[in-house]
Copies of this chain bind each other. A is one copy, B any other.
Amino acid sequence: MENKLIQKKLDNIEVRCQKCKVRSYSFCRCLNEDKLEYFSKISTEKHFINKENIFLQHEEALNFYNITEGNVKIYQLLDDGRIQIIGFLYPGDFFGTSNQNKYTYSAEAIGNLKVCVFNQKSLESYIDENPILAKELFNQTSYELTLAQDRMMILGKLNATEKVISFLNNISNQRKRIGWPNNPISLPMTRQDIADYLGLTIETISREMKKLKDEKIIKILSTKQFYINDFEKLHNLN
C-alpha cells in the first residue's frame, strides 16, 4: 500500500521535470532526457507566498533553489537596517549560493512563488558525477557576474534619472528573455523595492517616474503597471 503511494509520488516527480516550463532556460537544460528521471528525484517542489522568506543571510546554507514560477528578491541588510537589494530573480533563475556554508544574502518571495529545491550536498555529488552541470553552472555564474559588474556601474556612476531608466530597460529585456510580452509591463515589486535596488529613496523613484511620464516616454497605467511609449528614447537615455 505504502509502496504504491511512493511509486505514484515518484511518477509524479518524474513527470514534473519532464514537463517543466522553465527547463529550456534553467541550468538543468544541459541534462539529457534520460537523466531527468533520476534528476527529478533529487529535488522537490515548494510554494511560497508574498513576503515569505525562503532563507536568511548567514543561515546555514542547506539548499539551492530554481524558480519555476514567480519572482524573488535577494537582499543584504546592514546592522542599522539599511537594505540593498542585490537582485530581482525571474523564472529559470538559480539561487542559494553560500560562502563557508552560510547563505550570503536573504531571499524573499515577491507574490506567489514556486521553486525547485535541491539539497546542496546532493546536488554537489550529482554534479561530481555529471560534470557537464559544473560547466553549465560555471557559465551561468560567469554570466551573473557580468550582470553584477554592470550593476556596479549603475550604482556607482549613474544619476537618479539614468538609474531608473536602466531599471525599466532591464525589466523590459528580462521579460523578452523568458518570452513574455514586454509592453505593457507589470512591476511585481513595490516602489520601495525599486529604491532599495537602485540605491535611491522611494521619493526619488516617484519623482523620476513622474518625469518620464511628463516627457511622454512612458505611460503609468497603475503603480504596478506601465507602458513604454518611446522605446528608442528609453534605450538611448541608457
Chain A interface residues toward B at CB < 8 A: 76, 78, 82-84, 86, 97, 99, 104-105, 127-128, 131, 134-135, 137-138, 141-146, 148-153, 155-157, 198-199
Contact = CB atoms under 8 A, between A and B. Distances in A.
A199 B145 contact: no
9 contacts: A76-B150, A78-B157, A84-B153, A128-B135, A131-B134, A134-B134, A134-B135, A137-B138, A138-B141
Contact of A134 (B99, B138, B144, B146): B138
A156 B84 contact: yes
B146 A104 contact: yes
Contacts of A199: 155-157
Contact of A131 (B104, B135, B146, B157): B135
A47 to B, nearest CB: 26
Contacts of A155: 152, 155-156, 199
Given A141-B141, A149-B76, A157 B99 contact: no
Chain A interface secondary structure, helix, strand, loop or mixed? Answer: helix
The complex is assembled from copies of this chain, and their number is: 2
Nearest to A134: B134
A148 to B, nearest CB: 4
Contact of A149 (B105, B141, B150): B105
B146 A145 contact: no
A42 to B, nearest CB: 17
Interface centre among A128, A142, A156 (most CB of B within 10 A): A156
Contacts of A76: 149-150, 152-153
Contact of A144 (B86, B145, B151): B145
A156 B77 CA distance: 12
Given A76-B153, A141-B141, A148-B148, 8 more contacts: A84-B156, A84-B157, A86-B153, A104-B149, A134-B134, A141-B145, A145-B145, A157-B199
Contacts of A86: 149, 152-153
Nearest to A148: B148
